[in-house]
Amino acid sequence: MLPIASIEPNAGQPRKHFEDASLHRLQESIRENGVMQPIVVRPRGDGMFEIVAGERRWRAAQAVGLLEMPAAIHELDDQKTAEWSLIENLQREDLNPIERAEAFKRLIDEHGLTHQMVADRLGQERPSISNHLRLLELGEFVQDWVREGELSFGHARCLLALANNAART
């Protein structure tokens, strides 16, 4: 068990949007049953710990007033932390396509990985990685539609085929 005050979120967390209704349901579950699955953290070296996996559980535990929570501590470098955070979310399949694309891009930009290397490490197909990354070519307004579920991954990909960039924004 770790004190909640010694745990901080990971700035590189793939999930950027935390749905209020889902977080509220998790809070109710934690209030009733406690935290059933430990979060994964890594030590920062200053007595604090950074979340690798489980930020929703941590947020919910904080919200219901828990002072400590179960945590598995792993010594991980930045690259492994980014990979584990992404894998944990991909296994649940609940990142939106833009969050996936941004996480793939981060692995490529910050750790010098190729599309194929990302695919191999995450158990994905290379074309899926490349197709997600192409979504980042869309304008911010269109990306917001994808984030909010108002535009599907498939429909967003169709917009990429438009020759006129202005039509994609």
Residues designated catalytic:
55
Q: What is the dihedral of CA 67, 10, 96, 79, to 10 degrees?
A: -140
Describe the strand order of the beta sheet including 39-43 as a list of residue ranges: 7-8, 49-53, 39-43, 71-73
- Distance between CA atoms of 116 and 118, rounded to whole angstroms? 5
Q: Tokens standing for 48? A: 């604090």
Paired with 72 in beta bridges are: 40
Cβ proximity of 122 and 14 under 8 Å: no
Are residues 82 and 107 in contact, defined by beta-carbon separation less than 8 angstroms?
A: yes
